[in-house]
Amino acid sequence: MRTFKLHAKTTLLSSVLTVAMLIAALAVTSAAIANIERTDDQRFAELQARDLARHISDLRSTDPETLTQDTNLIKGTRPNVTSVRIWQLSQDDFVEKAVASGSAPATPIPDETKAALRRGDTKIPSISDQSLYRVFATIFINGRPSGAVEIVQRFDSIGAVAFRYLKSVIWMFLVAIGLILIGTYFLFRQLELTTKLETEQGILRDRVREATIELQIRNQQLQETNLELWRTNRRMNELGRLAAAGQTAAHFAHEVGTPLNLISGHVQLLKSDLDRDPRDAESRIRTISAQIERIERIVRRMLDKTRFETELAPLDLNSMLRRLCDAISPALDKRNVRLVETFADSLPLMAGSSDRLQQLFLNLINNSIDAMPGGGEIQIHTALEGKVGRAQRIFVDFIDTGIGMTPEVMSHIFDPLYTTKDRGHGTGLGLVIVSQVVAEHGGRVEVESELGNGTRFRLSFAAIPSDVPVGTENHDTELELGVR
């Protein structure tokens, strides 16, 4: 069985509804027109009855032939007039005097109407039903009622009126239905095509959005991968430079240590074979021995630096910084640099190496001094952040009023052997040591600088939690935190 599409069903339904509405409108209109015609016919019948009664009254003629001609004239004016009669008042009753040709049989006049006619009332009650309407008018002779004129009007039914108009509007029905069918069909077909197009556009937009989101995710992943690759490459370069520097230092120590051992042996032989001026020779030998021991200590320290091992112990950072500031005050005064100290009260202990941290802080101070050749100011601040417990961190800020750095320089300051100082004044290892020492202590370092507006180094370290026992009197007791 063939099924109709939605727009075809809608078109048929709208056409049926339109036809039903037109038929209903025709019925209502026909009823209204029938009522209007009935009212007009009643008024016209009343007017004709009064005019005919006045005409007879004026002529004062009772000739039946003349009266019959008058009635035929009235009846012929309209097809709906079924009968026209002239009644004569005789012995207080009404008898038929003249009647129009083709009139319907006479119907007795109601008593109420007779009484009004005898009195000569100007307004005679009419008699009407669903199909007929009887109108009466009084005939006066010498001012006295002498008869009456009766006109009977037939009314058309609503169906007859509707049928009469239907012949005229049937073609309008057909044209309207045709236009509605064509318009509705193309409208719904256009709507169907539009809906289908919008649906396909929505699907396409969803696919484009999904593809865009997936592409953004892939781009983000690619950027993260590239960044991680860049970081890995940078770390490998740093490790390569540090390894080369370490190998160079170890080779240097090994090569210098061997001849120093030989020199030491020869000095011992020279000391036992002295023949003249033993006091002077002994003094020189002591000097040579002291210098040899000094060189040996230097070599030993260089060897120790290649092992990357640091022992951590509870440390009062404020006390260490105060001692360091006191020690470097003469050098700062000589370079016309003012030192501003702001240390937080009741700073908790941290796990650290005093020697390594002093080396770290001295490198930062020396960098600040080199950045202020004409003098300036160095600020050293300590602060504590975090709630009491295991989440507290100690912050140390080194702020100078030096020449500052460009973003390009800042991106390389922790690269080994990178320096902006003149040849012979910088090794490119100062900030590398700073980064290494901070890492050994599990801390972080942040740098803020702007060319011409100075530089700020912020170091942060974990504070020792208050519930970890560290001793009550001797803060030099080592804390078992492992070795980096």
- The answer to whether the CB of 409 falls within 8 A of the CB of 426 is no
CATH number of the structural domain 313-462: 3.30.565.10
Q: Cα–Cα distance between 292 and 268 in angstroms, integer?
A: 12
CB contact at 8 A, 449 and 410: yes
Give the integer Cα–Cα distance in Å for 242 and 239: 5
Paired tokens of 36: 């209007």
> What is the fold of 6-156?
Beta-Lactamase (3.30.450)
> Are 6-156 and 313-462 equal in CATH topology?
no
For the chain, counts of helices (H) and of strands (E): 9, 12
What does 331-390 look like in DSSP terms, one character per residue? HHHHTTEEEEEE--TTPPPEEE-HHHHHHHHHHHHHHHHHT-TT-EEEEEEEEEES-SST
Cα(50)–Cα(139) distance, integer angstroms: 9
**3-state SS class at 113:** helix
**Counting beta carbons within 10 angstroms of the beta carbon of residue 480, is it exposed (0 to 12), middle (13 to 18) or buried (19 or more)?**
exposed
Measured distance between the N- and C-terminal CA atoms of the chain, rounded to whole angstroms: 87
Q: Give the C-alpha separation, 125 to 34, whole Å.
A: 22
pLDDT in tens, the chain (484 residues): 556 666 667 767 777 777 777 777 767 776 777 678 778 777 888 888 888 888 888 877 678 888 888 888 888 888 888 889 989 888 888 888 888 888 888 888 888 888 888 888 877 877 777 678 888 988 888 888 888 889 998 877 666 666 666 666 677 767 777 887 787 777 777 777 788 888 888 899 999 999 999 999 998 899 888 888 888 887 787 777 776 666 666 656 655 654 565 566 566 656 665 665 566 566 657 666 766 766 766 666 665 555 555 678 899 999 999 999 988 888 899 899 999 999 999 899 999 998 889 989 998 998 899 899 899 999 999 999 887 766 789 999 999 999 888 888 888 787 766 676 655 455 566 788 888 899 989 999 999 998 988 999 999 999 988 766 654 333 433 333 333 3
| φ and ψ of 272, to 5 deg | -85, -20
Radius of gyration for the chain, computed over Cα atoms and rounded to the nearest angstrom: 64
Structure confidence at residue 129 (pLDDT)? 72
Cα–Cα distance, 214 to 222 (Å, whole number): 12
**pLDDT confidence of residue 474:** 39
pLDDT for 378 equals: 95
For residues 75 and 289, give the distance between their C-alpha atoms in angstroms, rounded to a whole number: 166
Tens-digit pLDDT profile for residues 103-162? 888 888 888 888 888 888 877 877 777 678 888 988 888 888 888 889 998 877 666 666
- Could you count the other beta carbons within 10 Å of the beta carbon of residue 139? 25
- Asked if 87 contacts 147 with a C-beta cutoff of 8 angstroms, the reply is yes
What is the structure's pLDDT at 481?
33
Cα separation, 417 vs 436, whole angstroms: 14
Q: What is the pLDDT of residues 230-250, one digit of tens each?
A: 888 877 877 777 766 666 666
Alpha-carbon span 293 to 281, nearest angstrom: 18
**Distance of alpha carbon 273 from alpha carbon 283, whole angstroms:** 15
Place of tokens 């993260």: 224
Nearest to 134 by CA among 79, 177, 83: 83
Strand-pair category, 393-400 with 127-128: unpaired
- Cα–Cα distance between 112 and 438 in angstroms, integer? 130
Q: Are 424 and 440 in contact (CB under 8 A)?
A: no
Task: Identify the pLDDT of residue 479.
Answer: 34
Residue among 56, 52, 57, 54 at smallest CA distance from 75? 52
pLDDT value of position 484: 30
What is the sign of the dihedral through the CA atoms of 234, 240, 243 and 247?
negative
Residue 464 is predicted with a pLDDT of 87
**Whole-angstrom distance, CA of residue 246 vs CA of residue 306:** 6
> Token pair of 332, please?
């700062």
Domain segments of the chain as ranges: 6-156, 313-462
Residue 296: predicted pLDDT: 64
